[in-house]
Amino acid sequence: MAKKRRKLNKDFERKIYSSKKNVELVLAKIYDIDDEEIQKEYMSAFNRVVCLYDELKEDYEQQGFTENSEELFTNYKNAFNLFELEFEI
């Protein structure tokens, strides 16, 4: 039986790529924090954002663009914005 092709979306791929760069930038800034306790606190808070990004990326790679894709992106974006509001980085 032939495997169903996943639906691709170039605009959504750009959003994922941009999200990846944002996650990498924040992680780099967190790793640059000298105080180990503060660094742990920031990593703990940012871990949720990283998990949501990973879920978003994995879903797109496995399923392609689906009705669930925008919801996953919105969840990631909301968590990222909340982190930025609560933590100065």
| Closest by CA position to 51, among listed 28, 30, 80 | 80
Q: Which domain holds residue 51?
A: 10-86
| Tally of structural domains, the chain | 1
CA atoms of 47 and 53, how far apart (whole Å): 10
Q: Is residue 80 part of a domain?
A: yes
Q: Is residue 57's pLDDT more than 60?
A: yes
pLDDT at residue number 89: 79
Judge whether 32 lies within some domain: yes
Q: Per the domain annotation, does 3 fall within a domain? A: no
pTM: 0.89
**pLDDT at position 7:** 84
Residues 6+ apart with CB under 8 A from 9: 64, 65, 69
State yes or no: pLDDT of 4 exceeds 70: no
